[in-house]
Amino acid sequence: MDKGPQHPTRPAEPTATSARPVIDLVAEKAEILRRYRGLLRSIKGQRTAEESRQIRKAFNIAVEAHKDQRRKSGEPYIYHPIAVARICAEEIGLGATSVVAALLHDTVEDTDLTLDDVKDLFGPTVATIIDGLTKISGMQFSTDSIQAENFRKVLLTLAQDVRVILVKLADRLHNMRTLESMARDKQLKIASETIYLYAPMAHRLGLYSIKSELEDLSLKFKEPTVYEEISQKLKKGEAVRKRFISRFTLPIRESLDREGFSYEIKGRPKSVHSIYNKMLKKHVTFEEVYDVFAIRIIITSRPELEKADCWKVYSIVTDFYQPSPDRLRDWISLPKANGYESLHTTVMSPGGRWVEVQIRSQRMDEIAEMGLAAHYRYKDGEEPSSALDNWLNRIREMLEDPNSNAIDFVNDFKLDLFSDEIVVFTPKGEMRNLPAGATALDFAFDIHTQVGRQCIGAKVNHKLVPLSQPLRSGDQIEIITSRKQQPKEDWLNLVATAKARHRIKQALRDQKQKLAVVGRESVQRQLRTWGAKVDDNNIKTLVEHLNTASPTDLFYQVARGKHVLADLKAPHVKNGRLVLPKTKPQPDERSLEEVVAEIRGHDHGGLSLGDDLQRIEYKLSPCCNPIAGDDVFGFITMNEGIKIHRVNCPNAVQLMSNFAYRIVKARWKGKDTVEFLAGIRFSGIDDVGLVNKITTIISHEHNVNMRAISFESHDGIFEGKVMAYVHDTDHLNSLMDKLKRVRGVRIVERVDQ
């Protein structure tokens, strides 16, 4: 029975004959106790004697349960639950119950301890959390994606206790920190899953430091060269940054001291991942990313004075440095839905550099670091903040629909995770939070499902606008409805929120089922006209003949008039049995597992490209145009054989997260005479004869065949793009290096197409 993906860092049990290093058990026991004492010191707040007893009991049980297990690195397995419990206490700020659950989180799945044992020993709350964290064997859904189902199972437990997600994030963070010892393909799969779902989830819960670390570690394993390059550049510039921050903050410190503020100023670099994202989005080099660090001013202030004091500090900062008017973000007056409060501004320093300054109180800083967990410590009787509650209620609503497909659910759910927010108003002045990019139709569904379904138009700030109109913060929206209106398929392209997409799909399914009832009657009537029996076998014959996906689809298409049964050539009927030729193409006789086995061969699951091309049907994916030398993987498609993608392809994260079981390791073998299409974009300062120099380098010096070349020049700046055939990445890099040396050329980068 499927248990979902196994724990990412668990080794197979060693065989009796395998050579094992000599282990100093006494030193290991002392190290386990040292780590346990470190865990106890990290738990915030006062603990009752009963809570301390429960933690000690959980620790003893976990040590005994995992005593024969080791991690891939060779360490005792118990190091992992202790580390997860410490992250829960120290970095998320959770209390004793979560620490107990974290210590025991792998016992039910991997040892002889049962959920009933946990319930008897620690009570129903801990059992519920561990139940949520355990991959439940009996809980199986029909789905294309095992991974998506596991995400969905994790989210189902939100209906019971949000601590499940927080412990899960701690578990994932420790696994990412210790991912070095895993095989490359496992690293890619786990890193993709992390960036696809867990980092956005940490973001939504306001756990910014955990979100940043998860993103950085994902980048480290997905693109080690890029990660290393940016890290080294950040390290190299550290001394210069410190001097700059010291000079920049000096007048601010003096002024704050005069005003009598109690404060702390931190200058911290942005995460490697966020710098990399900026480089990609803005097509700039590391040196051109102006805000590689932010300055944070944290003040000690009484709750009733926080807002006024933050604005006072803003006034002091802007007395010395000119602010950028379009870079002011006021999350103090209108906090984000995840509880984040802060005042952000970007100011111009004397050296001509833009600097981001964040101003907040100590309370705001704690919420920013520890997310909504900082609002309450998860002790019995305490309620979570309303922002968290509202978000969880939206998830529960979506989970209640038994017909929703797991992958659709995960993709829709993701829409709500990473988006920035806007604040809009109803005609009566009621405030609503929506993700940035939300449309008038999203707003209609946010008000009520029925309002969304019957929406025919909207007025924004008293002007009639189309349903697809994106909303802006401060807009006031009035929805116009009609009882005759029905949701349409293209509405899915007009919305940006998970709730609206989910409700539209639900409405379309309802419509389909109603039409299918009408279609079923037509099919039954036609079968009687032909003199055939009205039974499942005859309906199956029609499904196969008309190449529809299922009987429901057949009935729906008949009702819509796509298939007119009366127009079919009078079929042969024998003993009430309908005889019609099958038009559906025959599927491959081999199972998916057999195809994978053939592809993987005996080379540790690897697919070699560039040698014996006839053996396997594979294509280079047009979304990222991989070339020999690129780090690649194979993806088994249903109809087009294997598609080869680059590991840093824009679609790689989604494919690896949702369809890991259809991913095949792939590598280039030897230098081949095959040529691959690659794109290069370059820009710089326009100069006489520049185009000629560039085309000469491409066509003559490197014997490259160009497929397309284009140049544009605007006010002394030129931009060009060439699509050319190269042999491999070395060939491409050599060509790009030559182009960088041309006088006037500033940026040369590879593009996908």
User: Would you please indicate which residues are annotated as catalytic (active-site) residues?
Assistant: 109-110
Q: Which three-class secondary structure string do you get for 10-23?
A: CCCCCCCCCCCCCC
Amino acid in position 494: L
Task: Count Cα atoms within 13 angstroms, Cβ side, for 17.
Answer: 0
Largest Cα–Cα distance in the chain?
101
| Helix 96-104, helix 115-122: angle, nearest 10 | 150
Q: Which three-class secondary structure string do you get for 274-328?
A: HHHHHHHHHCCCHHHCCCCEEEEEEECCCHHHHHHHHHHHHHHHHHHCEECHHHC
Give buried/exposed letters for 332-353 (b at 16+ CB in 10 A, else e). Answer: beebbbbbbbbbbbbbeeeeee
> Which spans in 66-162 are helix H?
79-86, 96-104, 107-110, 115-122, 124-133, 146-156
- Euclidean distance between CA atoms 609 and 670, whole angstroms: 9
Which residues are paired to 294 by β-bridges?
268, 356
Give buried/exposed letters for 495-513 (b at 16+ CB in 10 A, else e). Answer: bbbbbbbbbbbbbbeeebe
Give buried/exposed letters for 681-702 (b at 16+ CB in 10 A, else e). Answer: ebbbebeeebeeebeebbeeee
Query: Could you tell me which residues come within 8 angstroms of residue 607 by beta carbon, excluding any fewer than 6 positions away?
Result: 599, 600, 616, 618, 634, 642, 664, 665, 666, 667
Which residues are paired to 120 by β-bridges?
none
Contact 188, 656 (CB under 8 A): yes
- Give residue for tokens 């053996």: 615
Strands 322-323 and 343-348: antiparallel
